[in-house]
């Protein structure tokens, strides 16, 4: 019997800077069965740190340098390249790539088209919604990263439920946890002593992620709990403004901005509490899943997919968005109760194992690929 050649799969994204969407794409392409799938990644606009990491690990990445999808000639040019490569599946990620990539895939006659939706885009205008509905007619499946995202797609975008499926984001748990000596050393490198209660946030420094509200809440709790420290991991356009806010609030000596880091799991392991104070929208926070994977109690706002990770009172606490008072109360509850932190962390790890492992996500994606390819082949045979 002849060996079956691997199916050619193209993942399309706008860029591959460090972010939740980009991390999930990397996890998918690195974990798919290479004996069954020949995988490429195309960045429509530019590359980034994750693009470089994928190349280092042997994943072909092409950077196209495109700026917009309004020029039909660019879509036609992309379609020609796709057609030459003879892909079986086009799998897009995010709005820009989902629009540009799907138009090109339709023109190229790609057998299976999948769009991966990573957030709830409540700022869509009428034109955006019309485009999404039009493209959905040619899309074999719209993968939604949470129930909240699937509700947005079916209710707000009015896309038929049979076009969608829900596959949770997932992360790989660290192979080895830090020992006490390693934790102390890493804490010391950041200026934290062994007795400090460290609150960590991992998110881009943008308005939506709620760092301003977080700093206000942290100031309130620091007054009554002077041993508390705040670790802000990530970067973005608000960094200078947020650093200035720490000085105005007179907490700059106990707040550490790390910028973008590759050792996020290590930073989480030296922390005691994780917080994600998103204000507007959150499809399903990757950093939130990373936090429960290492057994941290978590605090998050009651929006988007966050309540699908946080069981309020079990593995963490849900608070209202843009409410520094509620956030400060949640901090106080966990800071004052070490046993509660421990029990919530244990339950969080259980939830991770139940819902958010890489093995589970990849199995669902591979099953989806095979189902859609077989359905397409059956249609051709008849």
CATH number, domain containing residue 221: 3.40.50.2000
Question: Do 28 and 166 share a domain, yes or no?
Answer: yes
Question: Do 18 and 159 share a domain, yes or no?
Answer: yes
Tokens at 24, concatenated = 């999930």
Question: Do 277 and 351 share a domain, yes or no?
Answer: yes
Q: Average pLDDT over the chain, rounded to whole? A: 94
Give me the domain span that covers residue 244. 180-355
Count CB atoms within 10 A of the CB of residue 122.
Answer: 10
Question: Do 334 and 192 share a domain, yes or no?
Answer: yes
**Strand extents, DSSP E, the chain:** 7-13, 37-43, 61-63, 89-93, 112-117, 141-144, 164-166, 197-202, 228-233, 255-259, 273-276, 298-301, 316-319
pLDDT for 16 beyond 60: yes
Task: Give 289: exposed, middle or buried? Use CB within 10 Å, 0-12, 13-18, 19+.
Answer: buried
194 in any annotated domain: yes
What pLDDT digit, counting tens, does each position of 337-353 carry?
A: 999 999 999 999 999 99
Distance of CA 360 to the CA centre of its chain: 16
245 in any annotated domain: yes
Question: Do 102 and 203 share a domain, yes or no?
Answer: no
What pLDDT digit, counting tens, does each position of 263-295 carry?
A: 999 999 999 999 999 999 999 989 999 999 999
pLDDT band, residue 302 (cuts 50/70/90): very high
Percentage of the chain surpassing pLDDT 90?
Answer: 88
Question: Do 115 and 191 share a domain, yes or no?
Answer: no
What pLDDT digit, counting tens, does each position of 180-215 carry?
A: 999 999 999 999 998 999 999 999 999 999 999 999
368 in any annotated domain: yes
Closest by CA position to 277, among listed 201, 219, 216, 339: 201
Quote the CA–CA distance of 237 and 232 in Å, as a whole number: 14
Beta carbons of 109 and 83 less than 8 angstroms apart: yes
The CA–CA distances, whole Å, from 43 to 21, 98, 144 equal 13, 12, 21
2 in any annotated domain: no
Please give the tally of structural domains in the chain. 2
175 in any annotated domain: no
Question: Do 17 and 162 share a domain, yes or no?
Answer: yes
342 in any annotated domain: yes
Lay out the sheet containing 7-13: strands in order across. 61-63, 37-43, 7-13, 89-93, 112-117, 141-144, 164-166
Q: Is 323 left (phi over 0), alpha (psi -120 to 50) or beta?
A: beta
pLDDT for 123 beyond 80: no
b/e string for 316-353 if b means 16 or more Cβ within 10 A? bbbbebebbebbbebbbebbeeeeebeebbebbbebbe
Quote the CA–CA distance of 208 and 304 in Å, as a whole number: 12
**Strand extents, DSSP E, 73-135:** 89-93, 112-117
Quote the CA–CA distance of 322 and 212 in Å, as a whole number: 9
Question: Do 161 and 205 share a domain, yes or no?
Answer: no
Quote the CA–CA distance of 265 and 186 in Å, as a whole number: 12
pLDDT band, residue 382 (cuts 50/70/90): very low
Question: Do 261 and 306 share a domain, yes or no?
Answer: yes
Question: Do 94 and 107 share a domain, yes or no?
Answer: yes
Which pLDDT score is estimated for 2? 57
Question: Do 263 and 312 share a domain, yes or no?
Answer: yes
196 in any annotated domain: yes
Question: Do 224 and 199 share a domain, yes or no?
Answer: yes
pLDDT for 76 beyond 50: yes
Tell me how far apart the terminal alpha carbons of the chain are, to the nearest angstrom.
25
1 in any annotated domain: no
Taking the model in full, what pTM does it have? 0.92
**Strand extents, DSSP E, 247-354:** 255-259, 273-276, 298-301, 316-319
């Amino acid at each position: 019997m002849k060996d079956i050649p691997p199916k050619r799969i193209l993942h399309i994204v706008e860029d591959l800077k460090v972010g939740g969407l980009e991390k999930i794409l990397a996890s998918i392409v690195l974990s798919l069965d290479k004996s069954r799938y020949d995988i490429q990644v195309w960045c429509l606009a530019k590359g980034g740190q994750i693009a470089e990491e994928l190349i280092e690990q042997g994943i072909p990445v092409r950077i196209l340098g495109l700026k917009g999808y309004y020029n039909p000639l660019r879509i036609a040019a992309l379609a020609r390249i796709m057609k030459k490569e003879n892909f079986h599946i086009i799998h897009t990620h995010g709005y820009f790539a989902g629009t540009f990539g799907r138009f090109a895939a339709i023109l190229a006659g790609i057998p299976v088209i999948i769009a991966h939706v990573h957030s709830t885009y409540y700022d869509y205008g009428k034109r955006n919604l019309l485009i999404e509905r039009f493209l959905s007619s040619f899309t074999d499946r719209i993968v939604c990263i949470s129930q909240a995202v699937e509700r947005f797609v079916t209710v707000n975008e009015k896309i038929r439920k049979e076009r969608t499926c829900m596959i949770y984001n997932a992360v790989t748990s660290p192979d080895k946890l830090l020992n006490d000596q390693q934790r102390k050393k890493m804490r010391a490198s950041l200026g934290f002593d062994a007795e400090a209660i460290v609150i960590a946030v991992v998110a881009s420094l943008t308005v939506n992620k709620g760092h301003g509200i977080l700093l206000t809440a942290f100031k309130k709790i620091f007054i009554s709990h002077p041993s508390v420290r705040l670790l802000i991991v990530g970067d973005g356009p608000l960094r200078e403004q947020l650093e200035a806010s720490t000085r105005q609030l007179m907490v700059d000596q106990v707040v550490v901005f790390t910028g973008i880091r590759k050792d996020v799991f290590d930073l989480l392991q030296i922390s005691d509490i994780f917080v994600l104070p998103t204000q507007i929208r959150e499809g399903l926070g990757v950093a939130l899943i990373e936090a429960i994977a290492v057994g941290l109690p978590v605090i998050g706002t009651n929006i988007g997919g966050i309540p699908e990770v946080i069981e309020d009172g079990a593995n963490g606490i849900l608070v209202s968005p843009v409410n520094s008072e509620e956030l400060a109360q949640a901090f106080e509850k966990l800071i004052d109760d070490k046993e509660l932190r421990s029990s919530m962390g244990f339950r969080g790890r259980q939830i991770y194992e139940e819902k958010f492992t890489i093995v589970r996500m990849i199995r669902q994606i591979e099953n989806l690929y095979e189902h859609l390819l077989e359905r397409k082949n059956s249609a051709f045979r008849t």
